[in-house]
Amino acid sequence: MNGERTRGDEGDSDGDPDRDGAATVDSPETGTRDPDALLRRAGVRGDPNRDQHFLVDDRVLDRLPEYAAEADVDLSHVLEIGAGTGALTDRLLVAGDRVTAIERDPDLAAFLREEFVAEIEAGDLTVVEGDALEVELPEFTASISNLPYGPSSELAFRLLPEERPLVLMFQREFAERMAAEPGTDDYGRLSVTAGHYADAEVVEPVPKEAFSPPPAVQSAVVRTTPRDPDYEVDDEEFFMAFLKAVFTQRRKTMRNAVRNTAHISGLGDPDAVVEAADEDLMSARAGNVTPAEFADLATLAYEVGEPGEHPSA
Per CB under 6 A, which region of 21-29, 98-106, 193-201, 226-234 contacts ligand SAM?
Answer: 98-106
Between 151 and 229, CB nearer to ligand SAM: 151
Angle formed by the axes of helices 87-95 and 58-69, to 10°? 40
Question: CA-CA distance, 79 to 141, in Å (whole number)?
Answer: 8
**Are 306 and 268 contacting, i.e. CB atoms less than 8 angstroms apart?**
yes
* Closer residue to ligand SAM in complex, CB, 148/165: 148
E strand or H helix at 177: helix 172-178
Ligand-binding site membership of 14 (annotated):
no
Minimal CB distance to ligand SAM: which residue? 82
Interaction residues for ligand SAM, span 124-163 (CB under 6 A)? 131-133, 146, 148, 151
* Alpha-carbon separation of residue 218 from 87, 185, 298 (angstroms): 20, 18, 35
What is the DSSP secondary-structure string of 5-22?
Answer: EEHHHHTTTT--GGG-SS
Q: Binding ligand SAM by CB under 6 A: which of 26, 105, 176, 296?
A: 105
Q: Are strands 211-212 and 54-55 parallel, antiparallel or unpaired?
A: antiparallel
In the complex, minimum distance from the CB of residue 83 to ligand SAM, in angstroms, rounded to a whole number: 5
Asked if residues 189 and 298 have their Cβ atoms less than 8 Å apart, the reply is: no
Question: Has 131 been labeled as part of a binding site?
Answer: yes
What does the DSSP 8-state code read for residue 49? G
Least spacing, CB of residue 130 vs ligand SAM, in Å: 7
Q: Are 241 and 213 in contact (CB under 8 A)?
A: no
Q: Select from 23, 25, 54, 77 the one that contacts ligand SAM (CB under 6 A).
A: 54
CB 115 to ligand SAM: min, Å: 13
Q: Binding residue for ligand SAM (CB under 6 A) from 7, 19, 41, 104?
A: 104
Give 130's Cβ-side CA count (13 Å radius): 10
Q: Which of 102, 122, 178, 198 binds ligand SAM (CB under 6 A)?
A: 102
84 binds ligand SAM (CB under 6 A): yes
Q: Which of residues 154-213 bind ligand SAM (CB under 6 A)?
A: none
How far is residue 53's CA from residue 164's CA, in Å, rounded to a whole number? 25
Using alpha carbons only, give the angle 69, 26, 21 rounded to the nearest 5 degrees: 80
Residues in binding contact with ligand SAM, number by CB under 6 A: 23
Amino acid 248 reads T
Residue 172 CB, shortest distance to ligand SAM, in Å, is 14
Distance of closest approach, residue 127 Cβ to ligand SAM, in angstroms: 11
Nearer to ligand SAM, 208 or 263 (CB): 208
Q: Contact between 53 and ligand SAM (CB under 6 A)?
A: yes
Tell me, what DSSP letter sits at residue 187?
A: -
Q: Is residue 291 within the footprint of ligand SAM (CB under 6 A)?
A: no
Q: Would you say 54 or 294 has its CB closer to ligand SAM?
A: 54
DSSP string, 85-132: TSHHHHHHHHHSSEEEEEE--HHHHHHHHHHTHHHHHTTSEEEEES-T
Is residue 216 within the footprint of ligand SAM (CB under 6 A)? no
Detail the residues annotated as belonging to a binding site. Answer: 53, 55, 82, 103, 131, 146
Detail the residues annotated as belonging to a binding site for S-adenosyl-L-methionine. Answer: 53, 55, 82, 103, 131, 146
Could you list the residues that contact ligand SAM (CB under 6 A)?
Answer: 50-55, 81-84, 87-88, 102-105, 108, 131-133, 146, 148, 151
